Chain A
Amino acid sequence: MQPESPRGGSPSLPSRLAGPAVSLALLAIILAIASFFAGDYLQRILIIIGINTILVVSLNLSNGFTGVFSLGHVGFMAIGAYTAAVLTLPVSLKVVNLPSLPPWLQQLALPFLPATLIAGLLAMLVAFLVGLSLMRLKGAYISVATLGFLVIVQVILVNWDQVTRGARTFAGVPPHSTLWNVWLWAVVAVYIVWRLGASAFGRDMRAARDNEVAALSLGISVLRSRLLAFCLSAFLTGVAGSLWAHFITSFSPKSFYFAQAFNIITMLVIGGLGSVSGSVIGVFFITVLSELLRNAERGFDLGVFRLPPIYGASQILMAVLFVLVIVFRPAGLLGGRELDVRSVLRRLGSPRRGKGAA
């Protein structure tokens, strides 16, 4: 992985805050314009991008910073989605759709925020219990074991009829997710991961990732830093699951399986492991691309002849793209570095002088 980018001295507080402030202002302007002028479709894409940003940034916390490559994070997303959905589902619907729910749960209909927080906390608790054992494993073994975790979650979702309606569709979740609350969470997620990455804990994580033995001999508790990252990342993933559930409003266990896992991992790897801004770029790139491909998949007219719909073709193209990126640009588009808004702005302003600043 890439070494930390050298920073000459510590810049003064206002200039350190300039980059994030500019990004936030830009984001707020984009969202404001979108919420007033953009059509329904565009707004939906922006919401998906926001949710995917949380998913990928939080996955980056575990997979990119600590090198614990979890393939099972979608399991936490599922836990978050189902927990929050069961909590916010209107009582009248619960009585019909989930008749064998325990009475106290059946009569409970929480507002969005507490339900989302509980969803995140539950995902975190599961991550802690699972992580206590999994985080002791090494490299590729963790990946396989987390994939096993995903299968376990899937089997439970499909079979726990009383709570999840089994393999049937879980419908009628109130559409609470909006452009604003999704992006508020996205900003929180990016902020947490970015701050953590720059903190002493973040350095511990990367040290343990790059050389476990050296990190241990320096007194870094590899297990603790891995577990912390894993739990926090599961919390944010659970929150994203809740946001997604209240956005899509009806889903089934199948929504949380390999296809989704692959989707998130593609965004992460293409953006670049270990880089927060890379994650965001990867999310934008892949979400927009897969939306375009999904439309193309339904078939379109090529003047004379009509291309038939080929469902699944977009996944195939994604898989090919993914392999190409791994072969030709293994560190992702940003190569593990962070994009600095100020240097980009400078470069845009005066292309000649900006060259050295990157």
Chain B
Amino acid sequence: MSALELLLQQLINAVSIGSLYALMAIGLAMVFGILRLINFAHGDLIMVGSYVALLLQVLGLPFPVAAVAGVAASTLAGLAMERVAYRPLRGAHEIAMLLTSFSVTIFLENLAIILFRPTSRPFPAPAVLRSVITMGQLRVAGLDLIAIAVTAVLLAALTLFVRRTNIGIAMRAASQDLLAARLMGINVNRVIATAFAIGSFLAGVVGLLWSARVGKVDPLMGFNPVLKAFVASVIGGLGSLPGAVLGAYVLGGLEILLQGLLPSALTPYRDALVFAILIALLLFRPNGILGSTEKEKI
């Protein structure tokens, strides 16, 4: 394989994994932008959708039906989470919200462990997702291309949504200044519920793609990826959606780069290194690459 082909191959890998992180980062950034809430339980929405899709397939339903149901389950779980755990905390200190989301995570993960056992289960994916396309020396997984395409479509749709629709504009207003938005007559509860619905819908989509990629599901599957996606979205500029996407692709690139460059003795330490680099980046640009340089108001 020539150097160019190798580069192209790795680039596709990086963009594909970066796309999955981007879908997670958007869900996190949307909620953070409005509520200042770091929703760790976002990872469990990924888990919920994956398990529902797995369960329905085991029951004999075709993949498309199971996939739609999985995404729907994630969305509903996200809405329920907001209503039950986060709405009573409106206006609370950001640490209180963070801890609440931490306990929602503990709650859902232990529930999943009780219901589905702690061990991982294989995730059956249809042939399309497992196919490999060969172009000359280049071998591209169908899943990678689908992940990239799906993300591109969803990003475009989301951009239109936040720019053109009333509720999308209200959402951006709320993330700029929640109080002012409320004074302008925006129904804040509806805006927040919408943000959660979109974020959890994306989490459901990520769940399908991630499970198909890894080939298995387990109760804790969502936590680490979401933690990384969160740090990535901070690097891009937290609360800014393009920033979150940018950060996610930086993260994807970083992971593939380390995968290729690290000597094999150090590859098990990859996740540790990724976090260390992400945290270091955070120090140099505390407001993120695209983040506003606006000083805190006194």
Contact = CB atoms under 8 A, between A and B. Distances in A.
Nearest to B276: A152
B95 A140 contact: yes
A141 B283 CA distance: 10
Given A140-B94, A141-B234, A144-B38, A265 B102 contact: yes
Interface in A146-164: 147-149, 151-152, 155-156, 158-159
30 contacts: A69-B95, A69-B98, A133-B279, A139-B95, A140-B95, A143-B38, A144-B227, A148-B227, A149-B279, A151-B224, A152-B272, A258-B106, A262-B103, A269-B99, A310-B114, A312-B110, A312-B111, A316-B107, A316-B111, A316-B114, A318-B106, A319-B104, A322-B100, A323-B100, A323-B104, A326-B92, A326-B96, A326-B99, A330-B92, A330-B96
A259 B219 CA distance: 14
A71 interface: yes
A312 B89 contact: no
A144 B231 contact: yes
Contact of B278 (A148, A266, A310, A318): A148
Name the residue among B105, B230, B269, B272 with the largest chain A CB count within 10 angstroms: B272
Contacts of B282: 137, 141, 145
Contacts of B283: 133, 136-137
Interface of A: 67, 69, 71, 133-134, 136-141, 143-145, 147-149, 151-152, 155-156, 158-159, 213, 258-259, 262, 265-266, 269, 310-313, 315-316, 318-320, 322-323, 326-327, 330
Q: Would you call the interface of chain B mostly helix, strand, loop, or mixed?
A: helix
Contacts of A140: 36, 38, 94-95, 98
Q: Would you call the interface of chain A mostly helix, strand, loop, or mixed?
A: helix
B98 A155 contact: no
A310 B117 CA distance: 11
B52 to A, nearest CB: 20
B113 interface: yes
Contacts, number: 117
B104 A155 contact: no
Interface residues of B, number: 43
Contacts of B93: 330
Contacts of A147: 227
Nearest to A269: B99
B128 interface: no
Contact of B89 (A134, A155, A320, A326): A326
Interface string B222-233: 011001001100
